[in-house]
């Protein structure tokens, strides 16, 4: 269990002392040198990490969509304010003396600290996860560094024990010609510039781009490049820590409280964000939830469902049969969609048209009701999220469940896209490339955009990526209604006719 660490350094000594300096978390920025050592509950352990994961998943999606840094910064800003708010010390200054506000800021920083280390545990287990985690965390750190108040940032940097120091002026005079040659724009003022002496392997990008003078293994970095230096240092330290954590991880295997949580978290990262509950019922024009009937399922699914559910429906229609995991995936999806259990029984009975009543009642009635929480342990099972569909119970050759972007071969995916959607060859190739690169939710989100005439980057709306089949469905439905995003699960009404077609075929 975590226990709270005390932040190292007393950087505040060199700047005007802020009320938060000297507290447990004196700065908004954190190099995550020390692990937290405070007792927290398993719920906090998972909940805080899930919130951070949502921000990191959004960053990953941005990279997969080739977002530029300004666009990426805006994305991080938006998601971080939602899931990982982190106010600067200057926010507390505006109402100095407000101890409750200072406590809130400390709690935000504690959540940031703890969630970072929980995800370190979750993502240290494979080379692929480590690489992706470092990439996303470094972008998040860069955003914090660039958006921090300058005085606070300087105070933070002074509090750190970095492996560099300012070059002595006599050495700098000795190498002034070489320094001016590498930095022509600094040449006129080269004697008044300051340089930091850094081991060259700490700044591989600057060395590679020939943007530093290197002598005897030491790189001379202008202080104006200090932020690149800090980011490279953050990345290098994180890499070292993740490798050390991976070596220590087998010792955690026996903890049956934490391992399922860590597995769930890493699963979510591979598949975008992670959530089991989509909270995505269909809302009618009157603002009330739509109750779906058995008669409406085919039209709704063919017009609004994502490819995974579309494939299940077409397989069921063609073969009048689905194997166990496929039935499970589709039954829960339809339940979440708003299909009441009586209508579900009617729907499945009709679809299993080659089966006798007796066989249906013996083999399927119970399982359908079980999915609705009406049999057995009476659990309210959530519809499966993309993370679960993508990462759990991989389909065999005879199975129809799973995620087509993850489980279809490129040829089969291409055939499925051509069969079910009107997409141009270029768009199809872009989608297949994203799937091949392992960005399944990005491929699915792009398919949504091109089949709903939604601008690139808008996703399901407001930049949201696909993370749950029911959210995809709800967003498609909402667009067809011509309305804004309004998801609710509180009231119901019956709709008598299927909705208008969206842009999907």
Nearest distance, CB of residue 438 and ligand SF4, angstroms: 12
Question: Scanning the structure block, which residue is given the tokens 């005007």?
Answer: 16
To the nearest whole angstrom, how small is the minimum distance from the Cβ of residue 277 to ligand SF4? 15
Quote the CA–CA distance of 388 and 381 in Å, as a whole number.
13
Any known ligand binding at 444?
yes
Q: d(Cα 151, Cα 249) in Å, to the nearest integer?
A: 39
Q: Which helix (H) or strand (E) holds 221?
A: strand 218-222
Give the nearest distance from C-beta 483 to ligand SF4 in angstroms.
21
- What minimum distance in Å lies between the beta carbon of 215 and ligand SF4? 52
Binding site for ligand SF4 (CB under 6 A): 306-308, 386, 389-390, 403-405, 440-441, 444, 466, 469, 472
Please provide residue 29's backbone torsions phi and psi, each rounded to the nearest 5 degrees.
-80, 150
| 1 CB-near residues (< 8 Å, 6+ apart) | 39, 40
Nearer Cβ to ligand SF4 (306/463) = 306
CB nearer to ligand SF4: pick between 195 and 405: 405
Residue number with CB closer to ligand SF4 (12 or 402): 402
466 three-state secondary structure? coil
Nearer to ligand SF4 (CB atom), residue 196 or residue 391: 391
In the bound complex, what is the minimum distance in angstroms from residue 434's beta carbon to ligand SF4? Answer: 11
| Buried/exposed 94-106: b ≥16 CB within 10 Å, e otherwise | eeeeeeebbeebb
Q: CA 123 to CA 132: how far, in whole Å?
A: 9
Smaller CB distance to ligand SF4: residue 92 or 391? Answer: 391
DSSP labels, 39-68: ---HHHHHHHHHHHHHHHHHHHHHHHTT--
What DSSP character marks residue 340? -
Spatial separation of the C-alpha atoms in residues 20 and 447, rounded to whole Å = 47
Least Å from the CB of residue 81 to ligand SF4? 26
Query: Is 308 annotated as ligand-binding?
Result: yes
By beta-carbon proximity to ligand SF4, the closer residue of 153 and 471 is 471
The answer on whether 386 is annotated among ligand-binding residues is yes
Tokens 């106010």 sit on residue: 87
**Binding annotation for [4Fe-4S] cluster:** 308, 386, 403, 444
**Binding annotation:** 308, 386, 403, 444
């Amino acid at each position: 269990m975590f226990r709270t660490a005390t932040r190292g350094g007393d950087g505040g000594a060199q700047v005007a002392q802020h009320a938060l300096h000297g507290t447990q978390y004196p700065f908004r920025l954190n190099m995550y040198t020390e692990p937290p050592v405070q007792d927290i509950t398993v719920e906090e352990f998972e909940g805080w990490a899930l919130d951070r994961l949502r921000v990191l998943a959004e960053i990953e999606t941005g990279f997969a969509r080739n977002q530029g840094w300004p666009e990426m910064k805006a994305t991080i800003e938006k998601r971080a304010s939602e899931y990982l708010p982190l106010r600067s010390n200057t926010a507390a200054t505006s109402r100095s003396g407000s101890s409750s506000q200072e406590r809130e800021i400390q709690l935000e920083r504690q959540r940031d600290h703890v969630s970072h280390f929980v995800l370190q545990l979750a993502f240290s287990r494979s080379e692929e996860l480590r690489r992706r985690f470092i990439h996303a965390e470094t972008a998040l750190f860069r955003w914090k560094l660039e958006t921090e108040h300058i005085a606070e940032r300087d105070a933070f940097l002074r509090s750190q024990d970095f492996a560099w120091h300012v070059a002595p002026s006599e050495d700098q005079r000795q190498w002034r010609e070489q320094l001016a040659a590498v930095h022509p724009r600094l040449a006129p003022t080269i004697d008044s510039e300051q340089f930091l002496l850094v081991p060259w392997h700490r700044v591989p990008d600057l060395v590679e781009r020939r943007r530093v003078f290197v002598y005897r293994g030491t790189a001379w970095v202008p202080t104006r490049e200090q932020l690149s230096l800090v980011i490279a240092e953050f990345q290098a330290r994180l890499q070292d820590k993740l490798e050390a954590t991976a070596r220590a991880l087998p010792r955690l295997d026996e903890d049956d409280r934490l391992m399922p949580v860590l597995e769930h978290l890493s699963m979510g990262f591979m598949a975008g964000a992670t959530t089991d509950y989509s909270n995505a019922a269909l809302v009618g024009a009157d603002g009330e939830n739509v109750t779906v009937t058995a008669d409406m399922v085919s039209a709704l699914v063919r017009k609004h469902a994502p490819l995974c559910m579309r494939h299940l429906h077409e397989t069921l229609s063609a073969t009048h049969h689905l194997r166990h995991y496929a039935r499970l995936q589709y039954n829960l999806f339809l339940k979440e969609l708003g299909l009441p259990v009586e209508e579900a029984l009617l729907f499945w009975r009709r679809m299993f048209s080659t089966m006798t009543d007796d066989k249906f009642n013996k083999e399927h009635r119970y399982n359908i009701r079980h999915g609705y929480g009406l049999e057995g342990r009476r659990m309210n099972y959530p519809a499966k999220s993309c993370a679960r569909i993508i990462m759990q119970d991989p389909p065999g050759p005879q199975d129809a469940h799973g995620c087509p972007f993850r489980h279809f071969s490129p040829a089969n995916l291409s055939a499925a896209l051509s069969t079910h959607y009107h997409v141009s060859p270029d768009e199809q190739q872009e989608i297949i490339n994203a799937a091949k690169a392992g960005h399944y939710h990005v491929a699915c989100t792009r398919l949504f955009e091109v089949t709903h005439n939604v601008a690139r980057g808008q996703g399901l709306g407001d930049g949201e990526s696909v993370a749950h089949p029911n959210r995809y469905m709800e967003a498609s439905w909402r667009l067809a209604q011509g309305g804004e995003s309004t998801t609710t699960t509180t009231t119901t009404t019956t709709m008598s006719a299927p909705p208008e077609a969206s842009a999907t075929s």
